[in-house]
Amino acid sequence: MEEALRHLEAHREAYLDQLFAYLRIPSVSAQSDHDKDTRAAAAFLRDRMREIGLEADLYEGDGLPTVHGRYAAGDDRPTLLVYGHYDVQPPEPLDLWETPPFEPTVVDGEIRARGCADDKGPSLALLLAAECWIRATGSLPVNLKVAYEGEEESGGSVIERYLEEHREALHADALIVADTPGLAPGTPALCYALRGLVALEATVEGPSRDLHSGSYGGAVANPAAALARMITSLHAPDGRVAVDGFYEGIPPLDDAERARLARLPFDEAAFLSDTGARDLRGEEGYTTWERRTARPTCEINGIFGGYAGEGTKTIVPARAGCKITCRLVPGQDPAAVQEALARHLAAHCPPGVGLDIARGPVAPAAFMDPETPWAQKARAALERAFGAPPALTREGGSIPVVNAFRTILGLEALLLGTYAPGEKAHSPNERYPVEDFYAAIRTGIFLFAGERPSRR
């Protein structure tokens, strides 16, 4: 392992150059006129994997390819599956970039380029960790399987088909994903929970056409008012979701968990200034971190109905609707929550109007026990690489591919947060500290070392 680390030290410049070459490829998957570039990024990755010593190829599907690679260390060695993505967010709005998005530039020790943190830097770092082992010692101590997709930012499904078609071949002891942020500059993170999702759209049907409010107003039910009443019924005054059965199955947040979340830094002034929110509001009895990551929510994403243009239009609208998404936490059954929500809305639909419910996608929450042997090994690798123990964090959002790995391969992800947060992953001037790049390579070197961990 020392040799691998020394190899890294001797190749700092060369590896940074490699990342820069990768970052210069504008692999914007959401923009089809960049398809050639995105495929160039896939080819770059495949070629790099082959140079490193992996068998590598492109898996083609209905969209952009998944680059897959494999290194066989022997049946007695542990097997790691590594996920990443080579596509990046669109760089727009371009005029807000201080340096060109596809011309990586180091400013104050930070690389600036689209995709540097999300996810080219961290995902390339894990391949370079393998290279350090192989170049320095002649071999990698683990069986390595790599699947880097090109549609993470555009919502494609090629990676899922790849997983489905290679169920057996992708058997592994652990799944490594380096696509979430660390806690703070210098402090990495292991994210151990993601929230799930339930989406639903409700449309309240009133008269068969918009009615003149002078001739008909006051004599028929107004669907916009009916909708408002239904939306109001969704929350109790204390901020709890008032839907029967909504909280079913959720274990109480235990003291250890609450203590863990309480240790995460929270700067209220910065939060309010960033969001523009007037103050902190949410379910009573919980902290903001808990509300954002460990408690389920029910949010109105949009409302619509009747006249929304300039001035006044004196109508009783024919219909009104809203889009609702709930964020779920481990223990909740997404299908059951969706049904409970639909039932609640139907029960609270005022008389005189009809109700149409359209069920949207659902995804379960994920809990990835941070105390498993592999999680502990990952935490130790992060700690050695960064010189600071990783924070244990929860994310409030969902990562669909994590669910795909669980349902298709039965693997829970180890979400390594190796880059400083707040580097505007989807915004102009995306940045990535150069030292985080090297620390991420070291994390890989430590993670690939040694034996299969076992429960202590």
Q: Within 357-386, which residues bind its own copies (CB under 8 A)?
A: 360-361
Structure tokens at 10: 């001797």
Q: Using CB under 8 A, which residues numbered 388 to 427 contact its own copies?
A: 395-398
Q: Residue 264 interacts with its own copies (CB under 8 A)?
A: no
Nearer to its own copies, 8 or 322 (CB): 322
H or E element in which residue 8 lies? helix 2-10
Closest distance of CB 267 from its own copies, Å: 13
Residue with tokens 């929270």: 266
Nearer to its own copies, 132 or 230 (CB): 230
Burial 216-229 (b: 16+ CB within 10 A, else e): eeeeeebbbebbbe
One of 53, 206, 417, 433 touching its own copies (CB under 8 A): 206
**Contacts with its own copies, 130-149, as mask; x by CB under 8 A:** --------------------
Choices 16-24, 111-119, 167-175, 301-309 (CB under 8 A): range interacting with its own copies: 301-309
Nearer to its own copies, 173 or 339 (CB): 339
Q: Using CB under 8 A, which residues numbered 234 to 263 contact its own copies?
A: 234-235
Phi, psi angles (nearest 5°) of residue 141:
-75, 0
Choices 33-41, 94-102, 103-111, 294-302 (CB under 8 A): range interacting with its own copies: 294-302
Pairing label, strands 354-363, 196-205: antiparallel
Q: Residue 277 interacts with its own copies (CB under 8 A)?
A: yes
One of 27, 143, 222, 418 touching its own copies (CB under 8 A): 222
Q: Using CB under 8 A, which residues numbered 156 to 195 contact its own copies?
A: 195
Pairing label, strands 143-149, 79-85: parallel
Query: Longest C-alpha distance within the chain, in Å?
Result: 86
Across the beta sheet with 319-328, what order do the strands follow? 319-328, 196-205, 354-363
Q: Using CB under 8 A, which residues numbered 305 to 324 contact its own copies?
A: 305-308, 311-318, 320, 322-323
Closest distance of CB 120 from its own copies, Å: 22
One of 68, 292, 344, 431 touching its own copies (CB under 8 A): 292
CA distance linking residue 400 with residue 90, whole number of Å: 20
The three-state secondary structure class of 363 is: strand
Closest distance of CB 383 from its own copies, Å: 26
Closest distance of CB 88 from its own copies, Å: 18
Closest distance of CB 283 from its own copies, Å: 7
One of 96, 270, 300, 335 touching its own copies (CB under 8 A): 300
Choices 3-11, 122-130, 230-238, 379-387 (CB under 8 A): range interacting with its own copies: 230-238
Structure tokens at 269: 């002034």
Q: Residue 349 interacts with its own copies (CB under 8 A)?
A: no
Q: How far is CA 241 from the centre of its chain?
A: 24
Closest distance of CB 427 from its own copies, Å: 11
Enter the DSSP assignment of 31.
-
C-alpha R_g of the chain: 25
H or E element in which residue 46 lies? helix 35-52
Q: Using CB under 8 A, which residues numbered 45 to 84 contact its own copies?
A: none
CA distance linking residue 456 with residue 440, whole number of Å: 26
Closest distance of CB 224 from its own copies, Å: 4
Residue type, 186: G
CA distance linking residue 355 with residue 203, whole number of Å: 6
H or E element in which residue 59 lies? strand 55-59
CA proximity to 145, closest of 157, 158, 163 = 163
Q: Residue 208 interacts with its own copies (CB under 8 A)?
A: yes
Q: Residue 454 interacts with its own copies (CB under 8 A)?
A: no
Closest distance of CB 208 from its own copies, Å: 2
Across the beta sheet with 105-107, what order do the strands follow? 105-107, 110-112, 431-433
Count of residues in contact with its own copies, rule CB under 8 A: 77
